């Protein structure tokens, strides 16, 4: 295993020494939050947007980070440098910290902070060219009234169990519906449909994580390609009848869907709109990945 350095609670340490307490509530109860962030050519893609979302997640959990935003920003860059990475994946984690075996979160004195920088390849390269097969999970998305989906918490069990359904079906991703039967998101990605050259994606009220790459497509990529985006509720039958379907995520970037369950989407390959957006995304981040 190549040498790897982790930023842990203010210090850069070797991976084998990067440990947390067995009493940390992040481990015991999934009490904490995280961000997955990408670096391209030494620039950290949408860093400020990720830090904004991390702050919102922590605030909703009533978790006060141990370090300032400025310190975290600097630590992320130091961790990349320490691992010799200009292109890679960064995982920023806040845990509640070590406490008692009870649920009480405010008996944990000091929140934990972890930054990992590594390489990542979420899906095989050929799927970006051929499109990927996904399924519709039987397990619905947890209702927003029960668990705020805008909090990117350490408790991903709802997503993981849907992911297991996908793995059992021999694929790598599953679409999750909300309790009302509307399309929400995938286990780790947001979802878009293309109909008559127009993009449609579930709105926040569908019960989704507000993805950074999703917002980049809505605000910047789609307009630059002359594409309109509509955020609205829609059901599975509309998704199955779409001309194209694609997923977005920090690790996934943009990837086309060729089949949902046994239904072929469009022509069964990555469609022209999806291909245009993939090319636009890759061109933009290779040239100068926006950090804001």
Rounded alpha-carbon distances, angstroms, from residue 132 to 104, 126, 135, 254, 278: 43, 9, 10, 11, 14
Contacts of 31 (CB under 8 A, 6+ apart): 25, 61, 63, 95, 96, 105, 108, 153, 154, 155
Strands 190-195 and 244-249: antiparallel
Tokens of 121: 């390849």
The two tokens of residue 46 are: 């949408």
Match 């086309």 to its residue by tokens.
256
Give me the catalytic one of 46, 60, 125, 152: 152
Q: What is the C-alpha to C-alpha distance for residues 194 and 184, in angstroms, rounded to an integer? A: 16
Per the annotation, the verdict on 125 as an active-site residue is: no
Distance, CA of 27 to CA of 21 (rounded, Å): 8
d(CA 142, CA 209): 12
Compute the distance between CA of residue 145 and CA of residue 199 in angstroms, rounded to an integer. 27
Element (H, E) at 284: helix 272-288
The catalytic site residues sit at 152
């Amino acid at each position: 295993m190549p040498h790897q350095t982790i930023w842990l609670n203010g210090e850069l340490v070797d991976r084998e020494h990067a440990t947390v307490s067995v009493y940390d509530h992040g481990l015991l109860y999934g009490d904490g939050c995280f961000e997955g962030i990408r670096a391209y050519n030494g620039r950290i893609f949408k860093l400020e947007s990720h830090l904004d979302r991390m702050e919102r997640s922590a605030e909703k959990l009533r978790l006060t980070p141990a370090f300032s935003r400025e310190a975290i920003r600097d630590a992320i860059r130091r961790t990349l440098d320490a691992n010799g990475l200009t292109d890679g994946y960064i995982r920023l984690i806040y845990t509640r910290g070590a406490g008692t075996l009870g649920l009480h979160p405010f008996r944990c004195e000091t929140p934990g902070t972890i930054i990992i920088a590594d390489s990542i390849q979420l899906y095989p390269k050929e799927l970006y060219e051929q499109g990927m097969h996904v399924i519709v999970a039987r397990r619905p998305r947890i209702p927003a009234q029960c668990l705020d989906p805008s909090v990117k918490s350490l408790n991903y069990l709802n997503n993981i169990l849907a992911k297991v359904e996908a793995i059992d079906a021999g694929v790598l991703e599953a679409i999750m519906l909300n309790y009302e039967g509307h399309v929400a998101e995938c286990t780790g990605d947001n979802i878009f449909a293309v109909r008559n050259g127009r993009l449609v994606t579930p709105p926040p009220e569908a019960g989704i994580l507000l993805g950074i790459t999703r917002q980049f497509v809505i605000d910047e990529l789609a307009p630059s390609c002359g594409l309109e985006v509509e955020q609205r509720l829609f059901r599975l039958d509309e998704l199955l009848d779409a001309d194209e379907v694609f997923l977005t995520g920090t690790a996934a970037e943009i990837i086309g869907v060729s089949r949902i369950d046994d239904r072929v989407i469009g022509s069964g390959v990555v469609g022209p709109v999806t291909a245009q957006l993939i090319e636009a995304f890759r061109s933009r981040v290779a040239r100068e990945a926006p950090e804001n």
